[in-house]
Structure formats: C-alpha cells, structure tokens
Structure 1
Amino acid sequence: MFDSETMIAARQFAQRLGCETAALLAVIEIESGGRVYAIVNGRKEPMIRFEGHYFDRRLTGEARVEARRLGLAHPNAGAVKNPSTQEARWTLINRAIEIDAIAALESVSWGLGQVMGAHWNWLGYESVAKLVNTARDGVAGQIELMVRYIEKAGLAGALQRRDWTAFARGYNGPNFAKDGYHTKIAAAYRRHAGAAASSAPPSSEGMLRLGSRGARVRELQTLLVRAGQSVSIDGDFGPATASAVRAFQAAFGLTVDGIAGPETMRAVDRYRQGAADRPGEQKLAELKEVRDGLFSGLGGGLTIEATRRTIEEAAAKIGGLAGLEWLSASLTVAAVALAIGGLAWACIGIWRRRRTVEVPA
C-alpha cells in the first residue's frame, strides 16, 4: 500500500516511539486512507483539510465579516465545505491566506496524521509556518508532525502496548467508537504485521485508561479531585483524566503512564472517606435517562390521558359520535405504553450508573 519512502520513514519513527512498525503504519493507513500526498502545481503536497469554523474563531472585525461573505468562515463546524480535489483545497487556503495568513494556516489539518496547524505552539514549533514547512517536507516531515502529536498527547505507550482503544480515544476523540476507529486500526495492524501480529491482549487490559468510561471512572476522577488534581467528574477517561493520573503518579513517585492500574488505585484509595464512602456515585436525579424517562413517560402519559378525558367529555356533550370510543381507548393504551417506555429508559439510566465499560464493542 505504501511506497518505499513511507516504509523507511515509518520504521525510523517507530523506533523513536518504541513501537512496532506495523502499529505506526496502521495509524498512518487509517488517518490517511492510504494516500500520503497529492500533486498540486507539479509538487508533492501533503493532504489537507480546511476548517472554516477554526478560521472564524481566529478572525475579528472586518476580516471575519469579509471571510464569512466569501464563504470561507462560519461559526458552525462543517458549514464551510471542502472541495473534492486537493488542488481546489489549496486554492481555497490561498484565498483565506489573503485575509489572514496565520489564521488560515492554523485552520488546516496537515498531512497524513491530520494534525491541526493550531497546535503549532503546543507541539513545540516556533510558528505555524514552521509546522507547515515540516508537513511539506516530504512524507518523513508528515510522519514527524504526527509523531510529535502522539508523543505530546502521551499516546506512545498505547501504541507500544497495542492498546487500540486507548490510542483511539486520545487521537480520535470521545466519539471514536461510533465509527469503529479502534477496530479499524486493529485490523490495519494485523494486515501490516502479517504472521508476526501479536494476538496477546494489551498489558493494560482490565485497568482504567484512555477509552474507559462509567462508574469506576467517576470514582477515580472523584478521588483524583480530592487528591488535588483538576479534572471533570464525568465518567469519561479522556486526555484530561489521563493527564491528571500522570500528575498524581508523578507526585507520589509511581510509574508515570496515565493508566490507573493496581499501584495507582491503591494510592488514590487513601482519599476515600471511610468504608461506606462511594466516590463519584450519581444521585438518581442527576441521571439524564432518569430525568428524561420520568418526564417523557409519566409526563407524556398524563398529557395523553388528559386528552382522552377531554374527548370523552366532548363525546358526552355531542351525544355520541362514531369512532370516539375507539380513539379514547387507543389513547389509554398509548398513555400506558408511553409511561412504561419512559420508566424503562429511566431504569436503563440506573443500570448505566453502576456500569463500567473498559473497551467499547
């Protein structure tokens, strides 16, 4: 699938990450779709995608007004459509550069790793122009940019362990499982590794890590907050929680890997407030499914029941009208069904409150 230039660069950067070449190639394949450059004006250029909502946020005053007028900026993601060809996308970027060069370059995802230009400072580049020059410096430059992101996001360990769930959550975001990003990388790894592909589960299996969610994650987050770490208690083990875990591990002289394994869990357990303490446990009223279920079920059922009584009263005044008795009975059934359905949804919320998902299906 990849040419020799890409294979050589991938091997070199896999050594830098300490992971199998097949693991890095799997990420490159899924991120790039197997296409690592396009010919634009006779030159090999990195694949790009312009994000008009990024551009919009980076502009002010007349520049933003003009960009919106030209269809280059919009407050909503996806509202500015990318042309189908890479050549047309480069033309679009050049139009944006005429309005604000820095904002335009920051608003593009660059190269086979789809790294946003806006990350230039976080990734240690002197300017967004330096990041762009790296991405345009051949396939090796593109992989360098992606590897910098992997390192900065603390994802090298996930690649070393072949922990596709953890890597996907950190690189692709909270909705990674929706499109099966982690399973796609796993399949790509098996293709590139061939007979050498490891079937052993990651060493982090059974531990809370990137991609985990649910009751045990809320418990961990609550204990981390008590320990002085800054993290939202939302049950989603994302990059912010991983960062809080690493900070906690460093403070207590533990192995810093961002994984809440046995050693880390023993350390955070000292912040429990007695045997009966249930850190992070949600009250029923806090569960969205419970609120929605009770409202739509009981509330909706009561509304339908009120409608049914109104119909019966109208029928009585009219002196009987064919079909009204059937409609009244049907509404009674609908009210009951809606109430039962709403309560069932509430029960699902209660079940989810106690559930922890380590690896999405």
Structure 2
Amino acid sequence: MFTAEQRGVIAAAAKTLGCEPAALMAVIDVESAGEIFAVVKGHQLPVIRWEGHYFYRLVHTAKRGQAVNAGLANAKAGGVKNPKSQAARYALLDRAANLDKQAAYSSCSWGIGQVMGAHWDTLGFASVLAMVDRCKAGFAGQVDVMCRYIDKFGLADELRRHDWAGFARGYNGPAYAKYGYHTKIKTAYERYRGAASPASPASGMLRMGSHGARVRELQQLLARAGQPITVDGDFGPSTKAAVKAFQMAANIADDGVAGPQTLAALQSYRVGPDETPGAIPAQLVSEVQTATKGGGIVVMVAALQKQISDTAVSLTGIDASAAQTISGALMAGAGILGAGLAVYAIYGLVKSRRTYEGTS
C-alpha cells in the first residue's frame, strides 16, 4: 500500500512514538481504508468526513437554526449523512464554512487518521486552520497529525505492547469490537511485519478495551480510593486515567493497566473479603428489564423453573447448577413469563457477571 518514501515517513514517525513501523503502518492502513488522498478539482486533498452533530454544537448559536435548515447540522450523531464523493463532501464543507469557518473545519475529521478538527488545540496547533494546513501539506503532514493524536491521547503505549484491543478502544471508541477494529489492525500488523503478532504483556489483565463485572469492581474500588470515575463496566480512557492516577499515588508503575500489583493495592478498599463491589442488582440488568418491560424481577411459577433452567443451559452455555440457582432467584409471586424471555433475562444476568479482557 505504501511507497518507499511513505514508509520512510512512517518509520520516522514510529520512532518518535517508540513503536514499530509495522504497528503504525497497520493503524494507518485500517483507518484510511487504503485511501491516502482525494482528488478534488485536480488537487490532492486529505480525505474528510463531515460530522453534523459537531457542527450543531460548535456553530455560532445565532446561526444554528440556519445550519439545521440547510441540512448541515443535527443534534443527533449521523443525522447529517455524508455524501459519497469527496468532492461533494468538500462542497458541503464550503457551505458550512460560509456560515462559520472555524466551526466548520472543526466539525470534520481529517486525513488518514480521521482526526477531528475540534482537537486542534489539544494537538498543539495555533488554530484549526493551522491543523488543516498541516494535513494538506502531504502525506507527512497527515501522519504528523495522526501521531500527535496518538501521543496526546495516551495510546502510544498500547501500540508499543501490541495491545490492539486497547488501542482500538481508545482510538475508535466503545464500539470498536463490534466493527472488529482490533482484529483488523492485528491482521494488518502481521502482514506488514511478516510474522505473527507477539502476545501483549498486558494480556489477561484489565486494561483499555476490557469490560464487564471485573471492570465494574475495579471502578468501584478506584472510586473509593478517591478517583473521579463512573462505574459503568467499560474500561475506556477515563478509567485508564484513574488507574494511572492511583498507581502514581501508590508508587506503582503508572502504565494504566490494572495488573496484579495494582489490584492488590486496591484490596484495602473492600468492605469485606467476600464483597463484590460494582455488582449489578438483577432488576437493573438491561435484559431483565427488557424481558419484564420494566415490571421488576422476572416472575414465573415453579412448574416452569426446570424447563427454563434446562433451556438456559443449552442456549447460554452456563452449567446446570448455575442455571437452576439463577432461575430460582428470578421466581417471585405469581404470573408466568414466557420461557424464551426468561432465558433472555438469565442470559443478561450471566453476562453481567462476566468479564471481557480484550484480545491482543
């Protein structure tokens, strides 16, 4: 995909990040989908994507209504569809810039890294226009902007340790696994490296990209330790920042990974040895709420318990004793919930007690 000159640019940039060139090549490959430039009116320009919900927020309030009526802004992400061609996208950008230039350029993602213009200040540029000019300066400019983002948002360490899930969670957001960004990056890395990806030293530990019961427990303990954090079961950038802050205060290597030493240091914040901090009550599990349509705990008669337990075993993969215990706990009062919905609720309960640690 890359020319010899482009590979040289990437190698130099990778050196500043402290990662392998193959790792950075893989990220560029996946993020750009192989499209380095767009040709618009005979000029090579960086590829852009319009984000109308950004423009809705950033445009001058006096012009917001005009922007909405012109189809340039929408309060909802995805509310303004991107034209298929880059030429049409640049035309849309020009229309928006006529209303509010800074807001318009801040509402686009730019170049091979698809970095939002709104990050110009964080990335060290004097203005959004300066950032855009850097992207327009050529391949090296686009790589520079992307690497600034990776550095400023603390993702270089994930690249260095081949933690593809962690990197994808930080770069692509909570839905990274749904779209397989981590596996795409790993595959591209192995292609450029010419060998299998080594296992990440953080494998099996709680880190960026992990989610589930153990992450909620970690977050609850961090909150008790005084870290400002939301207990949501998603190990994202804010949880990584909280882990690093706790590690620094505890004189532990601040890598943002909740390994054995960090978890051991957090044990003093437990109320008791058998406590499960962060556990979700059954009535708050989304699948239970869906199954009962907000009606509280799942209700069923005892005659259905064995049927539901057996079905849960076959459909969710849990063992029979666990299924029997959970289905028993879901029984209350009278009335019958269909076995299918009951199993769905059981599946939600089981899932709420599991942890996905991410894959390297």
TM bucket normalised to smaller:
0.7 to 0.9
Q: In 2, Cα distance between the equivalents of 1:273 and 1:158?
A: 33
Task: Please name the residue that 1:236 is paired with.
Answer: 234
Q: In 2, Cα distance between the equivalents of 1:274 and 1:242?
A: 25
| Pairing 1:205-284 to 2, within 5 Å after superposition | 205-284=203-282
Q: In 2, Cα distance between the equivalents of 1:275 and 1:61?
A: 54
| Pairing 1:47-196 to 2, within 5 Å after superposition | 47-194=47-194
SS of residue matched to 1:109: strand
Q: In 2, Cα distance between the equivalents of 1:192 and 1:220?
A: 36
Task: Please name the residue that 2:304 is paired with.
Answer: none
Indicate conservation of the 8 Å contact 1:284/1:350, yes or no. yes
Q: In 2, Cα distance between the equivalents of 1:296 and 1:227?
A: 34
What is the CA-CA distance between 1:299 and the residue it aligns to?
8.5
Indicate conservation of the 8 Å contact 2:13/2:144, yes or no. yes
Q: In 2, Cα distance between the equivalents of 1:250 and 1:296?
A: 43
Q: 2:288 is matched with which residue: 279, 282, 290?
A: 290
Q: Please tell me the residue identity of whatever aligns with 2:276.
A: R
Structure 2 unpaired stretches of 5+: 302-334
Using the TM superposition, name which of 176-185 and 126-135 deviates more. 126-135
Indicate conservation of the 8 Å contact 1:293/1:344, yes or no. no
SS of residue matched to 1:176: coil
Q: Please tell me the residue identity of whatever aligns with 1:208.
A: L
Q: Please tell me the residue identity of whatever aligns with 1:42.
A: G
Matched, 1:46 2:21: no
Indicate conservation of the 8 Å contact 1:72/1:96, yes or no. yes
SS of residue matched to 2:83: coil
What is the CA-CA distance between 1:60 and the residue it aligns to?
4.1
Indicate conservation of the 8 Å contact 1:300/1:339, yes or no. no
Q: In 2, Cα distance between the equivalents of 1:269 and 1:219?
A: 11
Q: In 1, Cα distance between the equivalents of 2:129 and 2:18?
A: 29
Cα-to-partner distance string for 1:337-361 (whole Å, 9 max, x where unaligned): 9521121112112211221111269
SS of residue matched to 1:177: coil
Could you state the TM-score of these two structures normalised by the residue count of structure 2? 0.85
What is the CA-CA distance between 1:101 and the residue it aligns to?
0.5
Matched, 1:350 2:349: yes
Cα-to-partner distance string for 1:265-304 (whole Å, 9 max, x where unaligned): 11111211222322112222221222222348999999xx
What is the CA-CA distance between 1:241 and the residue it aligns to?
0.5
Looking at secondary structure, tell me which structure has more helix per residue. Answer: 1
What is the CA-CA distance between 1:210 and the residue it aligns to?
0.6
Instruction: Percent identity, please.
Output: 49
Indicate conservation of the 8 Å contact 1:97/1:104, yes or no. yes
Structure 1 unpaired stretches of 5+: 303-335
Task: Please name the residue that 1:310 is paired with.
Answer: none
Q: In 2, Cα distance between the equivalents of 1:137 and 1:81?
A: 27
SS of residue matched to 1:162: coil
Task: Please name the residue that 1:311 is paired with.
Answer: none
Indicate conservation of the 8 Å contact 1:6/1:139, yes or no. yes
Indicate conservation of the 8 Å contact 1:296/1:342, yes or no. no
Call closer, same or farther: CA 1:338–1:277 in 2, change over 3 Å: closer
Q: In 2, Cα distance between the equivalents of 1:221 and 1:79?
A: 33
What is the CA-CA distance between 1:76 and the residue it aligns to?
2.1
Call closer, same or farther: CA 1:295–1:40 in 2, change over 3 Å: closer
Kindly report the root-mean-square deviation, in angstroms, between the aligned alpha carbons of the 2 structures. 2.2
SS of residue matched to 1:178: coil
Indicate conservation of the 8 Å contact 1:214/1:235, yes or no. yes
What is the CA-CA distance between 1:198 and the residue it aligns to?
4.1
Q: In 2, Cα distance between the equivalents of 1:140 and 1:216?
A: 41
What is the CA-CA distance between 1:3 and the residue it aligns to?
2.0
Indicate conservation of the 8 Å contact 1:2/1:34, yes or no. no
Indicate conservation of the 8 Å contact 1:10/1:143, yes or no. yes
Q: Please tell me the residue identity of whatever aligns with 2:290.
A: D
Indicate conservation of the 8 Å contact 2:59/2:104, yes or no. no
Count of aligned positions = 326
SS of residue matched to 1:49: strand
Q: Please tell me the residue identity of whatever aligns with 2:144.
A: E
What is the CA-CA distance between 1:240 and the residue it aligns to?
0.9
Cα-to-partner distance string for 1:99-134 (whole Å, 9 max, x where unaligned): 001100100001100000011122222221221122
Indicate conservation of the 8 Å contact 2:20/2:160, yes or no. yes
Indicate conservation of the 8 Å contact 1:5/1:139, yes or no. no
SS of residue matched to 1:188: helix
Q: Please tell me the residue identity of whatever aligns with 1:357.
A: Y
Q: Please tell me the residue identity of whatever aligns with 1:183.
A: T
Q: In 2, Cα distance between the equivalents of 1:294 and 1:81?
A: 36
Task: Please name the residue that 2:2 is paired with.
Answer: 2
SS of residue matched to 1:179: coil
